[in-house]
Chain A
Amino acid sequence: MTLTKADLADLLFEQVGLNKREAKDMVEAFFEEIRTALESGDSVKLSGFGNFELRQKSERPGRNPKTGEEIPITARRVVTFHASQKLKLKVEEAYAGDRA
C-alpha cells in the first residue's frame, strides 16, 4: 500500500471539497511549488513535517560496479530531507512496542 498523488487528490476531494479537477491540479501544484523553490536555491520548511534543503557536493572518485572501471562522480547539487522532530516522534511512537 503506497500513497500516491491520486490518493492525495481523492483526499482533497473528500476532505476539502475541491472538485476532482481542482484536487488533481492542487496536488500537482503543491509538489511543483516545492520543486520550483528548490530549483531556485531556496530551502523549503514545512513545519510539522520536515525541511528540504540543498547541498553542494564536490566531485569524488567513483567506480562502475559492473566493470570496476574508475570514473569520477561529478560535482552536483542535491536535495536532502530532514524530518521534523514531530514527524520523527510520530514514527517512533507508532512503532514502539510492536514490530519488536
Chain B
Amino acid sequence: MSVEKIIFYVFAAILIASASLVVTTRNSVRATLFLVLCFVCSAILWMLLEAEFLAISLVLVYVGAVMVLFLFVVMMLDVDYAALKSGFVRFLPLALVVAGLVFAAIYSIVSSVHFGLEAYATPAAHPAEYSNIKELGMLIYTDYFYPFELAAVLLLVAIVAAISLTFRGSRERKVQKPEWQVAVNRADRVQLVKMAAVKKEQAAPASDAASE
C-alpha cells in the first residue's frame, strides 16, 4: 500500500467518524468542533487530489471564518437537550422517510454509475511547478463567469436580507460619534477665566481655641 493510500484511508475514516459524531453528540459545541474536524479532513483529501487551492480555501473560509461564527453563536445559545429529544420516537418514521428520500436523491447524482472508476480515467499527476490557482482563475473568469457572478449576486441578496432583518430604523438614540470625539479641541471644552486675586480673611487659629 502506498503512502497516499494510507493517508487517504486514515483521513477518510476520521472524516466519516467525525461526521457521524456531529449528529450523535449531545453537546452542540462539541458537535460544531467535530464539524470543524470534518472540514479539515476533507481539506486533506482534496490536497491528495492535488487541488491545493480548494483545500486551503476550504480551511481558510469554512474552518477559519464560517465555523468560528457558528461556534460563536452555538456557545451563546442555551440549548435544552431534554426538549430536543422529547419527540424522538414520534417523529422517527417521518424522519426515516425524509432521510431515505434525501439519500436517494444524493445517490442518484453521485453514485458509482456516474463517478465510478469506469466513468473517470485516473487523473494524470501534474509537475511540481504546476499552479492550479492560475488554471482556476482562468476558468472562473472565462468559461464559468456567468455562474460565478450569479453566486456573487446570491451572496449579496443574503447580505441585504440579513441587514433588513436586523435593521431597526434610523438611529435616533444617542450614540457616540468617534469622529466628533477625535475632533474635539481643548478650546471647545475648557475655558480659562481671568479672575482678580482675592485675599482670604485671616481666620482665628483653630489650635489656639482648642488649647484654651
Are A and B physically bound partners? no
Tell me the B residues contacting A by CB distance below 8 Å: none
CB within 8 Å of B: which residues of A? none
